[in-house]
Structure formats: structure tokens, C-alpha cells
Amino acid sequence: MAKSDSKELGSESMGQEADVTTIPVLEEVRNHGKVWEELAAQYGVTNPDPPWKVTMDATCDILAADSNVVPHAQVVPGSCALPLLERRIEEDDLSTTIYADVPFPERQLLALAHSMIRHGLINEEELARQMEEVGRRLKSV
Amino acid sequence: MSTKSHHDRNHHASIATGIGDPQCFKGKAGKPKFKEGDSVRVKDLPDLFYTRCQVYPRGAVGTVTKLVYESPAAEDEAWDNSENPEWFYSVAFKQKDLWPEYSDAFPNDTLETEFCERWLEKP
Amino acid sequence: MSEHDHKPAPMVDEVSDFEILEMAVRELAIEKGLFSAEDHRIWTEYVHTLGPTPAARLVAKAWLDPEYKKLAVADGVAASKAVGVDWVNSPPTKFGTPSDYCNLRVLEDTPTLKHVVVCTLCSCYPRPILGQSPEWYRTPNYRRRLVRWPRQVLSEFGLQLPPEVQIRVADSNQKTRYMVLPVRPAGTEGWTEDQLTEIVTRDCLIGVAVPKPGVTSNIKLPVHKAVHPVQHGHDH
């Protein structure tokens, strides 16, 4: 419901579509990553959301800063790293195209990473490197 | 077959109500084997069915910081056996004694956790 | 088995690529200075917490009254009564066993000793005085790594401790539940109990953060208001 609201709002106020070409490092995650639905069923966990959802939401919010509350037209360009509305419109576009078959909230996460790369906040190489680093840390025994 | 369960599911609640658990076992464990400040080693007992003793402190030597309460061991309580309460001890370890590779830059870091008497011995 | 509380809840015992991606994206953003690890932690904490917990008031009282502090450290269950929590007579469930054990230990930090709480075997948490545990407290990531690499995990929460401060991890494996009594921060001289209560946020009580003047659990962050209809519009 709110999804179509923001979409309409977006096409009026923004007038541009997200770049929906695939990004190899994210394709790897989407093709090989196990989604929460599957993991929860496998381990008998009833929590509807993966534990990382809260931290991902915080990342989206903190990157959006003031644009969380200020109407989009009044957001000063450059005042936040990734304006709320831009990220949401891109997420909607990506959710109906390249990440259409990925369930929520995994597709929000892919879309967030996608937008951050397209907006030049991070690049593919460093994301791949950081993922390797984090994977090593989390899997260390 | 009777439809009434022969297992009294509320037994534990009824002895703890108004008193609290582990408070309801106070005075039932007899004389404690260790006292505050004693060095103790965590035994590596078999744990076929149920235990609350972690694997990582087994074999390590630590210091008793506090006699915390008396209670049946989790190993017994899991099977509804509350006949033999024991003393529980809070024991502090140097991190280095738990994890040999723990950084030497932080020799004072410690970890504290609890054991019932059956898991502890004089080092 | 009669011990509901003792039976470990099922957990997802593997690391997924999505979990790794979330953390990698966040850490790169931190590395690039888009926000700090601590800002992120505060934001995450805010999302879960509505106002100060009774445990926060216990801490504020202990800071103001040395006699009460002694009681809190000696007998957490007795001290809880002064902040409206009766561990013994009002357990959350009345069926079977009381679902929360009644042995609260209040771990007192000093300028050279910092406590942090975990439950490696499941996710035991002092619910009567602190409410439900946060998501991250229940993850294998936190439970497994905190006991072994506490400084690494604390720095992921934005808390860097100098080497002269001893870290003491409390692993809540039996019937004791723990909360941390942090050091009263500078800059709070002359504050009232209410003012002090506000800065003792949930994460300070678990031990992954330290209280600071100006950082409160009632902080007005922009996430709360206008964002709602848009943010939660993902469900179909």
C-alpha cells in the first residue's frame, strides 16, 4: 500500500528510474545466500525476521538522516548520504526487476547495497573484500 | 488409561511460589566444599543427556568469587529430580587460562560464570 | 523435562551470506565516516527500546545513595523492589515453573573494571527488570564471540576500552541473571534521579555501552515519526 504511495510520489517528484543492471558481488549473495525463510524452517526458528534486520533498518535510517522527517522537496542536497525517498524508489524498482524473486527483507538488503554502490558510497571491490573479512570473523572458531 | 496426568507439572512452581527459585532450596545443600577465594578446577565430566556446564571452561583453573545459592544441579533438575541440592559457585577465570591464544596485550581480562559443586575439584 | 527456561531455544546455527552482507555494508559505511559504530548502536537500540527500564532507575538510585548501592550489589532481588520489580511474587508466568529465576546479581563497574553480560548456552536475560532481550543478544555471533573476543565485539558496538581497564565477561549459564551497574559519567554532577535514569540505556545495562550525558533512551531520533508509512510499506 505505502509502497505504491511512495512509487507515485517518486515518479512525480523524482522522474527517474533506478539503474537496474546487476552487480556481480550482489549476484553472488543472491544466488548462493540462504534466505531467512529457508534458514528459519531448517532450524525450527519461529522469529519472522532475521536478527540482522534491525541493524539493516538502522543503517537505512542513519544514512537517510534528516530526510526521514523532512519532506523530500525540502531535503538539502548533500545533507544526507542516501535520502530516504531515493533509496525507497530504487528499492521498489529493484524489487520488481532484478531482485523480484528474492523475499523480504533480503531484497531490501540487496537493494540497499545496490543503491550504496550506484550512489558511489562504496564500491564493488571493497564490498567483496569486506565480506570476505566479515565471513572469516563470523566463521572463526 | 487415566486421562489425568500422573506428572505434577506444577510441583516446581508450587514450591517456588512466594519464595523464588533458587531461594526455595536454601539450607538444603549441607556444608559447602569450597569457600570464597579458593582455586578450583572445572572437571570434564561426561554429559550424555543435559548439562549447563559449557565446554570452554572445562579443565581450566579459576577462583571462587562467591557462593551464590543452593539448588539441584541442572543435570538433575532437567529430569525433575530435585532431591539433592548442591552449592553453586561463581568462578572467575583469567581469559588467558580459557583461551591460550588470548592477546597478551590484555592479561587482566577475565570471565565469570557459575558451576554446581559436582563440576569442581581442587586443582 | 520441567525446565522450560533451561531448554535452549532453537537457533539458526550457520552464517548466511546475507548476514555477512549486512555487516560488511555497515562496516564499510563506518570506515568511510558516513556514521560511527556508536551512532549506529544508539540508533539500533532506539528502535527496540521505549523509555528507560526499571534497571536504569536502580542504577541511578545506586549512584545517588551509597547505602542503596551496597544493597544492590549484595542482593539485587531485594534492591529491585525499590524500583517496582518483585522478582519472587510477580513472575511473568504462573504456569509450571516460574519462567524467570530469582537470583539477580548487579555487577558493579569501576574505572578499571568493565562488566559485560552474555548467555553462551541460550539467551538468559534479566527480563523482569530489563524487558525482552534485543535480537543481537540472541545471535550465535554475539554468544559465541563475546566470551572469546570481547574487545573485538565491544568495538563493533562502538566501545573501545583502554588496556588498563579489565573486561569481565559474565556468562549467565545457571540460575543467576546479571545486569551491569556502570560508572557514573563525568558531567552529571548535581543531576536528579530522573535525569540520571534517562542516560542509563539498555545497552549500558548489558554492558556493551557506557552511559554518557546527552545520550538517552528517550532520544528523539527522526526514525520515529514521518518515516513510518514509507518504511513499513514492504509487506505485500
State pLDDT tens for residues B2-47: 444 455 656 666 677 778 889 999 999 999 999 999 999 999 998 8
Q: Shortest CB distance from C11 goes to which of A43, A52, A84?
A: A43
Asked if C16 has any chain A CB less than 8 Å from its own CB, the reply is yes
Asked if B20 has any chain C CB less than 8 Å from its own CB, the reply is yes
Judge whether residue A11 has pLDDT over 80.
no
Q: Do C103 and B90 touch (CB under 8 A)?
A: no
| Residues of C catalogued as catalytic | 119, 122-124
Q: Do B106 and C167 touch (CB under 8 A)?
A: yes
Structural domain count, chain C: 1
**C4 in any annotated domain:** no
pLDDT of residue C1: 37
* Chain A residues within 8 A of C139 when measuring between CB atoms: 51
Q: How far is CA A66 from the centre of its chain?
A: 19
Distance CA B107, CA B94 (A): 8
The tens digit of pLDDT for each residue in B35-69 reads: 999 999 999 998 878 899 999 999 999 999 999 99
Mean of the per-residue pLDDT values of chain A: 85
Q: Tell me the mean pLDDT in the region A27-53.
A: 91
Q: Shortest CB distance from C2 goes to which of B12, B23, B56?
A: B12
Per DSSP bridges, beta strands B86-94 and B61-71 are antiparallel
Q: Lowest mean pLDDT: which of B37-46, B74-83, C222-231?
A: C222-231
* Chain A residues within 8 A of C28 when measuring between CB atoms: 122, 126-127, 130
Asked if B94 has any chain C CB less than 8 Å from its own CB, the reply is no
Binding partners of C (≥3 Cβ pairs within 8 A): A, B
Q: If you count DSSP H runs as helices and E runs as strands, how many of each does chain C have, helices first?
A: 11, 4
> What is the side-by-side order of every strand in the sheet holding C166-171?
B120-121, B39-42, B61-71, B86-94, B110-116, C166-171, C113-118
- Contact indicator for B42, B119 with CB cutoff of 8 Å: yes
Q: Do A2 and C27 touch (CB under 8 A)?
A: no
Q: Do C88 and B20 touch (CB under 8 A)?
A: yes
Q: Tell me the mean pLDDT in the region C78-105.
A: 71
Q: Shortest CB distance from A2 goes to which of C18, C28, C232?
A: C232
Binding partners of B (≥3 Cβ pairs within 8 A): C
**C5 in any annotated domain:** no
Q: Shortest CB distance from B88 goes to which of C2, C102, C174?
A: C174
pLDDT range class, residue C218, cuts 50, 70, 90 = low
- Contact indicator for B31, B60 with CB cutoff of 8 Å: no
B with C: how many residue pairs have Cβ under 8 Å apart? Answer: 120
Residue C143 structural domain: 16-230
Which of A6, A13, A52 should we substitute to test contact with C (largest number of C Cβ atoms within 10 Å)? A52
Strands (E), chain C: 103-108, 113-118, 166-171, 176-181
Closest residue, chain C, to B111 (C-alpha) = C169
**C6 in any annotated domain:** no
Asked if B8 has any chain C CB less than 8 Å from its own CB, the reply is no
Structural domains of chain B, ranges and CATH numbers in brackets:
32-121 (2.30.30.50)
pLDDT of residue C126: 87
- Show the CA angle centred on residue C71, arms to residues C70 and C77, nearest 5°: 145
For cell 515518479, name the residue: A11
pLDDT of residue C87: 84
**Which CATH number do you get for residue C91?**
3.90.330.10
**C60 in any annotated domain:** yes
Interface of C with A in 136-155 (CB under 8 A): 136, 138-139, 141, 145, 152
